Structure 1
Amino acid sequence: MPDFLGIDTSNYTTSAACYLNGTVEQEKLLLPVRPGELGLRQSDAVFHHVQQLPQVLEKLYARIDGGEIAAVGVSSRPRNQEGSYMPCFTVGMGTARSIALALRVPVYCFSHQEGHIAAALYSAKRLDLLKKRFLAFHVSGGTTEAVLVEPDHGPLFQVRIVASSLDLKGGQAVDRVGAMLGLPFPSGKFLEELALQSTAKFSIRPSMKGADCSLSGIENQCRGLLEKGAPKEDIARFCLLSILAALDGMAAKLREEYGEIPMLFAGGVMSNGIIRSALTEKYGALFAEPAFSSDNAAGIAVLASLRR
C-alpha cells in the first residue's frame, strides 16, 4: 500500500509522520526555548524549523520500511478560517511542495486544528466520526475553543466555532503558571507531575459567558496563592482544576444546545491525565493518547490519505 506523508511546523514542534497500512509512524522535535522564556518569536520559530525539519524527516524514514509516497499533507495555517496565518507554517508548506513536485504527487493543505482533530480521532480509533456530527475541543497554547464538526464532501469535514476562551488560552495559563513556579517551557507535563503530589481540595467556579469561558484570572489567583506561601504542588493542582472547571462549563452548556453527540478533546493541554480522567468520566469524552494530543503531523498524514 502507498504511504502518505504529513508535515506540521507549529509554534512548538517540528513534526513529520507517515501513514502506512493504517498505522502512523511519527517523529518530532520541540523548538528550543531559552529557560525562563514563554515561547519564541515567529522569526526564531521559522529559523529552527528550517534547521530541524530535515533532521525529523531523516529520522522518520530511517526507521520505517517506507514505500511509495502517494500524497503529501501539510499544515498551512492555524485554523481553517480567512486570515488565519502564522509564518512558522510556511516552512512546512515549502518543504511539502518541494517533495510533492519532485515525486509528482499531490500536496494537500489542512489547518493545524484539523490535524489535531484527525490525530485525536485516529488515536481514539474513531475515524468513523468524520462521517458524523460531533463536538471537538482544541485546547493548546494558541487555541482554546470548541468547534462543531460536520461531514463535507469537499474538504472531508467543516468546523464552526461554537465556544471559546474570551482571553487567555489554556496552554498560556499552564505555561505562565509553570514559569511562575520555575518549571521548564512548555510546562504541561511538569505542572501535572507537581499537581499529582497534591491532595488539596478547591471549590472553583469558572468564569463563563454563555458557553464561552474566561481563563485570565487563573494566573493572578495562582500568583496570590504563591505570595501566601502555598506549596507549589497545590498551586499546580489549582491551575489544572481551574482549566478543568472552565472546560466542564463549556461542555455542559454545549451539551444543552447540541444534545449528547460525541465529544472529542484534542490539543497539547488535553494530554493532561487529571483533566482527561474527569471529562471522560462525566461526558464519555474521547481523547487522544499523549503522543497524539501534543502538536504532531499524524493527523495531517491521515487526512492526506483520506483526500487521496
Structure 2
Amino acid sequence: MTEILALDTSNYTTSTARFCGGQIFQQKRLLPVKKGELGLRQSDAVFHHVQQLPDLMEALLAETALQNLRAVGCSTRPRTLPGSYMPCFTVGHGAARVLAATYGVPLHTFSHQQGHIAAALWSAKRLDLFDKEFIAFHVSGGTTEAVLVTPDTQEPFTVQLLAQSLDLKGGQAVDRVGRLLGLPFPAGPELEKLAAQSDAKFKIHPSMKGADCSLSGIENQCGKMNAEGVPPQDIAKFCLYSLLAALDAMAAALLKAHPGLPLVFAGGVMSNQFIRKALTEKYGACFAEPVFSADNAAGIAVLTARAEGLL
C-alpha cells in the first residue's frame, strides 16, 4: 500500500504523520516549556526537536514497517513569503531530506501555514476547496492572519494577506492571560475549561482598523480585572470572547469585500469550542477538529499526497 511520511518541527510541537490507505496517523509532542515562561528560544526549540523526533518516528512506525513509501513531505518555513524563516524548521527539513534520499523518493516542501490550512480542509472534509478561492484564518501563538487562498498550478495554493492582528497574536493573548491566572503553557485548553465555569455576560467592542484587529487590549483589560478581584473564570471568559469578537469583526469586514467566499479557520487557537461554535453558526465556517487544529504534520501529509496524485 502506497504511503507518505510527513514532518513538521514548529516553534511549539514536534510532529510526524503517515498517510496510508486514505487515513492519516499522527505522533506529535509539545516542546517542553519551563513553568511561568511563554515559549522557547530558537536554539532550545532546535535542541528539543532533535531529541524528540526519533522517539516520534519510532512510535509512528512501531505497528507496521513502511511497505511502499511514495514520497516525503515537510515544512521548511513559517509562511510562503520571501524571508520567512525560523531555525526550528531545519530539523524536520533535514530529517526529511535523509528519509527521501535513503528511500529514493521525492521530497515535497511546504510552509507551516500551508500545512495548517490543508489540515483544516482535511478535517472538515472540504478538500474540494483546494480547487476554489476561499478565505483562511490562521490563528496561533505566532500568527493571527486572514489570507485569500487561490488555486495555483505550481504551489498547492497561493496566499495573499488580507488582514491581521497589528500587535499581539491570538495565541499570545491567550497564553499571557493564562500565565496571569497561573495556568500552564500553552494555556488554551485550561483557559477554555475555566471559562466554561463562568456565567458572566460581556458587551465587547473589538479594537479594529479596517479589517485588521488589535489584541493587546485583551491582556491589559484582563490584568485590570485580575487586580480588581474579578473571579478567574470570568477573566478567562472575557479573554476568549474578546478574541471571538475580534475574529468576528475581521470576518464580517472581509466578507463585505469578498462576498460569498467560504471561511476556513486553522491554527491551535481555533480548537476553542466557544469560538468554533459561534463562527460556525454565524458564517457556516469550516473548522478543523482539535487534533488537526494545533501544530501538526497531518496537513503536510495531505499536501504531499496531493502532489503525488493520491488525493
Q: Please tell me the residue identity of whatever aligns with 1:180.
A: L
Residue in structure 1 matched with residue 135 of structure 2 by the alignment: 135
Q: Give the Å deviation of 1:170.
A: 0.1
Q: Give the Å deviation of 1:71.
A: 0.6
Q: Does 1:296 align with 2:296?
A: yes
Aligned CA-pair RMSD: 0.8
Q: Secondary structure of the residue that 1:35 maps to in structure 2? A: coil
Residue in structure 2 matched with residue 167 of structure 1 by the alignment: 167
* Alignment gaps of 5+ in structure 2: none
Residue in structure 2 matched with residue 262 of structure 1 by the alignment: 262
Q: Please tell me the residue identity of whatever aligns with 1:267.
A: G
Query: Cα 1:23–1:239, aligned 2, differ >3 Å: closer, same or farther?
Result: same
Taking the aligned partners of 1:240 and 1:49, their CA distance within structure 2 comes to: 30
Q: Secondary structure of the residue that 1:204 maps to in structure 2? A: coil
User: What is the TM-score normalised by the length of structure 2?
Assistant: 0.98
Q: Please tell me the residue identity of whatever aligns with 2:250.
A: M
Q: Give the Å deviation of 1:247.
A: 0.1
Q: Please tell me the residue identity of whatever aligns with 2:267.
A: G
Taking the aligned partners of 2:186 and 2:32, their CA distance within structure 1 comes to: 10
Q: Give the Å deviation of 1:136.
A: 0.3
Q: Secondary structure of the residue that 1:202 maps to in structure 2? A: coil
Q: Give the Å deviation of 1:66.
A: 3.9
Taking the aligned partners of 2:21 and 2:248, their CA distance within structure 1 comes to: 37
Taking the aligned partners of 2:138 and 2:160, their CA distance within structure 1 comes to: 12
Q: Give the Å deviation of 1:64.
A: 4.8
Residue in structure 1 matched with residue 100 of structure 2 by the alignment: 100
What are the superposed Cα offsets for residues 241-289 of structure 1, whole Å, 9 maximum, x if unpaired? 0000000000000000001211000000000000000000000000000
Residue in structure 1 matched with residue 287 of structure 2 by the alignment: 287
Taking the aligned partners of 1:52 and 1:142, their CA distance within structure 2 comes to: 21
Q: Please tell me the residue identity of whatever aligns with 1:150.
A: T
What are the superposed Cα offsets for residues 35-83 of structure 1, whole Å, 9 maximum, x if unpaired? 1110100000000000000111110111356431111110100000000
Q: Give the Å deviation of 1:199.
A: 1.0
Q: Secondary structure of the residue that 1:62 maps to in structure 2? A: coil
Taking the aligned partners of 2:116 and 2:236, their CA distance within structure 1 comes to: 25
Alignment of 1:66-105 (within 5 A): 66-105=66-105
User: What is the TM-score normalised by the length of structure 1?
Assistant: 0.99
Alignment of 1:96-245 (within 5 A): 96-245=96-245
Taking the aligned partners of 2:34 and 2:130, their CA distance within structure 1 comes to: 39
Taking the aligned partners of 2:297 and 2:67, their CA distance within structure 1 comes to: 18
Q: Give the Å deviation of 1:187.
A: 0.4
Q: Secondary structure of the residue that 2:203 maps to in structure 1? A: coil
Q: Please tell me the residue identity of whatever aligns with 1:234.
A: D
Alignment of 1:41-80 (within 5 A): 41-64=41-64, 66-80=66-80
Query: Cα 1:64–1:295, aligned 2, differ >3 Å: closer, same or farther?
Result: farther
Q: Secondary structure of the residue that 1:99 maps to in structure 2? A: helix
Taking the aligned partners of 1:278 and 1:177, their CA distance within structure 2 comes to: 21
Alignment of 1:13-24 (within 5 A): 13-24=13-24
The size of the alignment, in residue pairs, is: 308
Residue in structure 1 matched with residue 249 of structure 2 by the alignment: 249
Q: Secondary structure of the residue that 1:114 maps to in structure 2? A: helix
Q: Please tell me the residue identity of whatever aligns with 2:189.
A: K
What are the superposed Cα offsets for residues 150-172 of structure 1, whole Å, 9 maximum, x if unpaired? 10011121111101000100000
* Alignment gaps of 5+ in structure 1: none
**Deviating 4+ runs (over 2 angstroms):** 63-67
What are the superposed Cα offsets for residues 275-304 of structure 1, whole Å, 9 maximum, x if unpaired? 000000000000000000000000001101
Taking the aligned partners of 2:118 and 2:88, their CA distance within structure 1 comes to: 21
Q: Secondary structure of the residue that 2:239 maps to in structure 1? A: helix
Q: Secondary structure of the residue that 2:299 maps to in structure 1? A: helix
Identical amino acids, percent of aligned pairs:
66
Taking the aligned partners of 2:302 and 2:196, their CA distance within structure 1 comes to: 34
